[in-house]
Structure 1
Amino acid sequence: MTNLIKNFLNDEAGASAAEYALLLAVIGIGIVVAAGALGSAITGALNEAATAVNTRPAPAPAP
């Protein structure tokens, strides 16, 4: 019985799995944050381009 308890306490397989799960969660959160920032940057750039196109001066009349 004591060997069973010692083996259970020394088993690190579950700890490794938990570490990998935590690492994947942190990487996933980083990807979500980066995608949100990139999406905002793209939206801002497209809005600036649309404003530039919509506010261009009217062409001069033909003589």
Structure 2
Amino acid sequence: MQAFLNRAKAFLVNEDGPTATEYAVLLALIIVVSIGVITTLGQNIAARFQDVADATG
């Protein structure tokens, strides 16, 4: 019983879990923003190439 209580106490004191969760949330946010930026840039670049294609011929 004492071993279980020691493990439970160590689990509650351990801060690695919340830190990993914070990093996961931060990574997800960075990925979402990156996808939005890449999508917007891709559309703008495609429009510019289409403008050049229309102008040349």
TM-score (structure 1 length as normaliser): 0.73
Report the CA distance between 1:5 and its aligned residue: 3.2
Q: Distance in 1 between matches of 2:56 and 2:22?
A: 51
Structure 2 unaligned blocks of 5 or more: none
CA drift at 1:29:
1.0
Shift of 1:10: 2.0
Which stretches of structure 1, 4 residues or longer, exceed 4 Å deviation after superposition? Answer: none
TM-superposition CA deviations, 1:4-55 (whole Å, max 9, x none) = 433322221100001011111110111111110010000000011111111x
- Alignment partners' CA distance in 2, 1:40 and 1:13: 41
More helix by share: 2
2:42 counterpart of 1:28? no
Aligned length: 54
Greater Rg by CA: 1
Report sequence identity in percent.
35
